Amino acid sequence: AQKVTQAQTEISVVEKEDVTLDCVYETRDTTYYLFWYKQPPSGELVFLIRRNSFDEQNEISGRYSWNFQKSTSSFNFTITASQVVDSAVYFCALSYSGNTPLVFGKGTRLSVIA
Amino acid sequence: GAGVSQSPSNKVTEKGKDVELRCDPISGHTALYWYRQSLGQGLEFLIYFQGNSAPDKSGLPSDRFSAERTGGSVSTLTIQRTQQEDSAVYLCASSYPGLVGAYNEQFFGPGTRLTVL
């Protein structure tokens, strides 16, 4: 069975601090996909990144970066120089192939205080 | 183009009543998913459609829940004899199947917030 664990329920940081959101996953599949979604107060899920299991390269997009480590089954998300607009619930998710349901973690609520 | 739309955006109902939630996927997206977001439970998968067929209904929590899809487009999630524990945000997502084995991103709608009194 697949499982995603986001151990941090809530995190609060002061603006401009860096913050890392943890994600640990479990799967028996050799091919799988990992995701991060952002859910701002408006409620709509916003796709941030997809990573497949064969690509362990870390990725950076502006202030966002992702660290994928198969050895520890982790896919952590770091926001550098956080801003108030980063305040949201962030979900990590797993899928074993295209056109299959996403298995979500329970989310981490990030509050960035000015 | 237009994204995934859901209606109503909010629904308040009394315990024991039936409710219908609607999802309009992105045009051309043959895969459609329903998820539920409950307080403390995170996002849970309910059912997946490919075209009008539902190959995976494993997430439906009870036989009070059912869903259908017609014309390979609009889907309706029906909850009969609603209970207070059904209160949640119901999210719909759609994707275009594309190549076999490739990942096809799911685009989410804004959700329907259901409150059962």
Decide the pairing of beta strands A59-61 and A3-5.
Answer: unpaired
Which pLDDT tens digit goes with each residue over B7-60? 999 999 999 999 999 999 999 898 999 999 998 778 999 999 999 999 899 999
Tell me which residue in B42, B98, B102 faces A105 most closely, judged by beta carbons.
B42
Residues 22-41 of B with CB under 8 A from A: 31, 33, 35, 40-41
Q: Chain-wide mean pLDDT for chain B?
A: 91
Tell me which residue in A91, A98, A107 faces B103 most closely, judged by beta carbons.
A98
Greater confidence (A5 vs B40) lies with: A5
In single-letter form, the type of residue at position A31 comes to: T
**C-alpha to C-alpha distance for A28 and B55, rounded to whole angstroms:** 21
**C-alpha to C-alpha distance for A26 and B18, rounded to whole angstroms:** 37
Residue B99: what pLDDT?
60
CA-based nearest residue in chain A for residue B47: A101
**C-alpha to C-alpha distance for A34 and A104, rounded to whole angstroms:** 10
CA-based nearest residue in chain B for residue A96: B103
Beta-bridge mates of residue B33: B48, B93
Residue carrying structure tokens 């759609």: B94
- Report whether B79 contacts B64 (CB < 8 A): yes
Closest CA of chain B from A98, distance in Å: 4
On chain A, the residues whose CB falls within 8 A of the CB of B40 are 106
On chain B, the residues whose CB falls within 8 A of the CB of A37 are 108
Which pLDDT tens digit goes with each residue over A18-75? 999 999 999 998 889 999 999 998 888 999 998 888 888 888 889 999 999 999 999 9
Tell me which residue in B50, B91, B101 faces A45 most closely, judged by beta carbons.
B91
State whether A104 and B41 contact (CB < 8 Å): no
Phi, psi angles (nearest 5°) of residue B93: -140, 155
Q: Following DSSP, what letter does each residue of A3-65 receive, concatenated? A: EEE---SEEEEETT--EEE--EEE-S-SS-EEEEEEE-TT---EEEEEEETT----EEETTEE
Residue A55: what pLDDT?
84
CA angle B74, B36, B92 (to 5 degrees): 25
Cβ-based contacts under 8 A for chains A and B: 64
On chain B, the residues whose CB falls within 8 A of the CB of A93 are 43
Residue closest to A83 by CA, chosen among A20, A18, A21, A15: A15
Pair of tokens at residue A52? 């497949």
- Report whether A22 contacts A69 (CB < 8 A): no
Residue A59: what pLDDT?
85
State whether A98 and B100 contact (CB < 8 Å): yes
Which pLDDT tens digit goes with each residue over A82-104? 999 999 999 999 998 767 889 99
Residue B117 forms contact with A (CB below 8 Å): no
Residue carrying structure tokens 């949640």: B88
**C-alpha to C-alpha distance for A19 and A77, rounded to whole angstroms:** 8
